[in-house]
Structure 1
Amino acid sequence: MALANHPLAVLKITEFRNFILGRFVFIMGLRMMGTLVSWWMYELTGDAFYIGMIGLAEAIPAIGLALYAGYVIDRSEKRRLLLITISLYAMCTFILLGTSTQWFSQQFGTKLIIIFIYSIVFITGAIRAFSGPSFGAMIASLVPKHLLIPASQLSSTSWLIASISGHALAGFLIAWLHVTGTFVIITSLIITGFLLLSRLTPKPPGMSSEKKTLEAVAEGLKYVFKTKEVLGAITLDLFAVLFGGAVAMVPVYAKDILHVGPIGFGWLNAASDIGSISMVIALTLNPMKKKQGIKLFMAVTGFGLCIILFGLSKWYWLSFVALVAGGIFDGVSVVVRGNIMQLKTPDELRGRVLSVNSMFINSSNEIGQFESGVAAKLMGVIPSVVFGGCMTILVVVATWIKAPSLKKLEY
């Protein structure tokens, strides 16, 4: 394969390299924070329901602001907007760092700490409504159109590697540095990400003309609903993630079912991402040539089966393997959906369409976490995870019947 046509040729572009590296460090810090906050909350409360409420606290502002955020992204200079959101994240982690200290605990008690955690998580949900789609909307301005697919897949790959690193390192850091020390590392990573991304040149607004706010916001939704390939992929992934959010219960499995402690918890949290990154790297180097729609259905079915296996397992290594396998299947979905979003979205609509995607897909992780917490409270932890896996498979069957065009998808 000629170097110019190699999937990694996009890394020769300096700005794209800076973007990938800055995003990597930033996302690693954020994923560490998500892992740490879940562990911290379970330590404070001993109740899985409170873990689920973290997801709800983040999802409400992320969903509520998503459509407006897309409008703001399309009419803003993207580099500046991105740096503002990262600065706000750094402030939030610094507040949580202070909240986690022994002095704060002695002065104000556990109840106020819990209130602080939920309040900061709510604020980060609002920030994420703007930061997440900004990253995706910026890719097309960094690379030529013929390199958009490898750039999109490398972006997904870097995100997943950062996610793995964040999950696994958080477990080790909790064991070695405890909660407060881990927050110091997280804050440092987010600041480093800011410095790396500040090297990018300004990115002009994508919106070509002034429009009324509501009209411009509605354009993103209308485009998604009229583009059947985009709608079908988003819908399938939305409900699969919503019902298959077993990872939300990993702190409970680590502590009370598998009895493995913080390091084992970190690896269980990283397991899905290890599988995902393996698949994404494989598909980056050897892209799927045909029948991507059929493969998407098969992958989501496999994901649901792995969630059921994880829910039933009482052995650490079987649980770990089930989550890795689930991540492998999820990696197929990440690649197919990411490529569809980049290829099918016009430049002037990228912020708004990617915000719709964020509203449905990214926030479904938090809503799925809330659903898992409520289901665990009502049904017990193990039945709730198994139920989620079964519902994922049911969603695949329903989508197969209701969205026949998705089966024929190829690009």
Structure 2
Amino acid sequence: MTQPTSPLHIRDFRIFWVSRFVSVIATTAMVVAIGYQLYDVARSDYQMSIPQAAFQLGLLGLAQFLPLMLLTPVAGVVADRFDRRLVGGLAISIDIVIAVILAVSTQRGALSLPLLFALAAMHGAARVFVSPALSAITPNIVPAALMPRAIAFGSMAWQAGSVAGPALGGFLFGVDRALTYWLSAGLLALSCLCLALIRPVPAPAGNRDVHPVRQIVNGFTYVWNERFLLGCVTLDLFAVLLGGATALLPVFARDILHVGPEGLGQMRAAPALGAAAVALVLSWKPMERNVGAKMLWAVAAYGAATLAFGLSRWFPLSLLFLAALGAADMVSVFVRSSLVQLNTPDDVRGRVSAISGLAVSASNELGEMQSGLAAALLGATGAVVFGGVGAIVITVIWARLFPELIRARTFAPQYRQRESVS
């Protein structure tokens, strides 16, 4: 039997790629609409000032993060004990329900801040199960030799969807605010169907013989003991926690750059466009040398682009800086994802993916909270500039705290493997 030379030669990977692509379009389109509506409702219906409404965007991030923080250990164990397709499909189904509720509430003019916060928390709870389950599927359907290219193709699906989703969501939102949510519901249903068409992905043998609490402890212990992996995860956590400007994009769209929801869609898509371009290059020629140093430089570039965006007052230039921000972030994501997938035993992969996902989500959602609070104190521009400088400083500190990052030349294991960590 001829061995595949590309992940795209594998049927299950192609179906999985489509599932990821359409689900990202759906969720990013929905998130753009939720963010704009929450800010608009706070300003119009609740008569809040710009700083007060910006702070609500920060609270929106907190509402999504709390279920992530509480459920991540459980989600990792679930991904290691059950069919990962089923786990991902059930979690995506929750997002379908959320999209339908938002569509109906928008059509009836029944949106309120409590409802938006509650649905955001439900979305956070669903996503905490989606991420580790889907992240752990790829190594089960793709040979190890093709994993770097598979990760790059997977990143392309994510980033391409993140380009199309906000742009399409912003456009449809301008035509009819409920259309964005109906589109999301339909695409999420298609994503579930694709997952069902992939061959079964049984849980690793032996995982059901270990108590779930012991599995949770072992997962956190595994990451804590591997300094290289710990350095990668925490670098992303703290750099993006400070440098995230995404939460404040509705403020820039409505009250600084004055480009409305359509412009917000373009601004949300710009980082993904830059990231997709880098992912395309990496899918053709994966990074192989000096991966640790390149990751550090990429995070520093991410901070610099964030700072520049905060200072820009010309919309095209702002889009350019956002695209640069996304391109730099893609390099960091590629390195971290490759290390997690290539160097983690299958019996603990769901838990490690969940912990890595928690760090990413913490940096995003808590970053939104930090941005909202900083905007209330410093203004939107001051908050973004402060965050960009903070990301650069964190990179310098982490280079000193974790010299293993600089010494990493390739994706070969940087830490000792365990035979079993169940």
Give the TM-score band, short-chain normalised.
over 0.9
2:55 is the counterpart of 1:49: yes
SS of 2:82's partner is coil
Q: CA deviation at 1:312?
A: 0.8
Structure-1 residue corresponding to 2:408: 409
Amino acid at match of 1:303: Y
SS of 2:197's partner is coil
Q: Deviations over 1:368-387 (max 9, x none)?
A: 11111111011111111100
Structure-2 residue corresponding to 1:10: 7
Q: CA deviation at 1:257?
A: 0.8
Contact 1:32–1:170 (8 Å) recurs in 2: yes
Matches within 5 A, 1:2-401: 9-46=6-43, 47-101=53-107, 103-105=108-110, 113-177=112-176, 179-209=177-207, 210-401=209-400
Q: Go from structure 1 to structure 2 and tell me whether the alpha carbon gap of 1:50 and 1:14 turns closer, same or farther (over 3 Å shift).
A: same
2:368 and 2:331 map into 1 onto residues whose CA distance is: 22
Q: Deviations over 1:13-42 (max 9, x none)?
A: 111100110111111101111111001111
Q: Deviations over 1:296-347 (max 9, x none)?
A: 1111111101111111111111111111111111111011111111111100
1:92 and 1:232 map into 2 onto residues whose CA distance is: 35
2:306 and 2:284 map into 1 onto residues whose CA distance is: 28
2:206 and 2:228 map into 1 onto residues whose CA distance is: 25
Contact 2:149–2:282 (8 Å) recurs in 1: no
1:298 and 1:81 map into 2 onto residues whose CA distance is: 36
Q: Deviations over 1:129-175 (max 9, x none)?
A: 11111110111111122212211221111111111111111111111
2:75 and 2:196 map into 1 onto residues whose CA distance is: 21
Amino acid at match of 1:41: L
Q: CA deviation at 1:207?
A: 4.9
SS of 2:253's partner is helix
Q: Which runs of 5+ in 1 are unaligned?
A: none
1:23 and 1:361 map into 2 onto residues whose CA distance is: 18
1:288 and 1:5 map into 2 onto residues whose CA distance is: 20
Q: CA deviation at 1:263?
A: 1.7
1:135 and 1:362 map into 2 onto residues whose CA distance is: 15
Alignment: residue pair count: 399
Query: More displaced, 297-306 or 190-199?
Result: 190-199
Contact 1:23–1:197 (8 Å) recurs in 2: no
Contact 1:69–1:355 (8 Å) recurs in 2: yes
Q: CA deviation at 1:4?
A: 6.8
Q: CA deviation at 1:362?
A: 2.5
Q: CA deviation at 1:5?
A: 7.9
Q: CA deviation at 1:104?
A: 4.4
TM-score between the two structures when normalised by the length of structure 1:
0.94
Amino acid at match of 1:84: L
Query: More displaced, 300-309 or 78-87?
Result: 78-87
Contact 2:13–2:141 (8 Å) recurs in 1: yes
Contact 1:307–1:386 (8 Å) recurs in 2: yes
Q: Which runs of 5+ in 2 are unaligned?
A: 44-52, 412-422
Contact 1:24–1:162 (8 Å) recurs in 2: yes
SS of 2:286's partner is coil
Contact 1:229–1:340 (8 Å) recurs in 2: no
Amino acid at match of 2:183: I
Contact 2:253–2:264 (8 Å) recurs in 1: yes
Q: Deviations over 1:59-116 (max 9, x none)?
A: 0001111011101110111122121111111111111112212x343xxxx5xx2111
| Structure 1 residue ranges (4+ consecutive) displaced by more than 2 angstroms after TM superposition | 3-6
Contact 1:220–1:349 (8 Å) recurs in 2: yes
Q: Go from structure 1 to structure 2 and tell me whether the alpha carbon gap of 1:363 and 1:206 turns closer, same or farther (over 3 Å shift).
A: farther
1:289 and 1:125 map into 2 onto residues whose CA distance is: 34
2:236 and 2:194 map into 1 onto residues whose CA distance is: 32
Contact 1:38–1:51 (8 Å) recurs in 2: yes
Q: Deviations over 1:223-273 (max 9, x none)?
A: 111122211111111111111111211111111111112222111111111
1:5 and 1:393 map into 2 onto residues whose CA distance is: 41
Amino acid at match of 2:17: I
Q: CA deviation at 1:354?
A: 0.3
TM-score between the two structures when normalised by the length of structure 2:
0.92
2:313 and 2:38 map into 1 onto residues whose CA distance is: 23
Amino acid at match of 2:191: G
Amino acid at match of 1:22: S
Amino acid at match of 2:56: Y
1:196 and 1:246 map into 2 onto residues whose CA distance is: 33
Contact 1:304–1:392 (8 Å) recurs in 2: yes
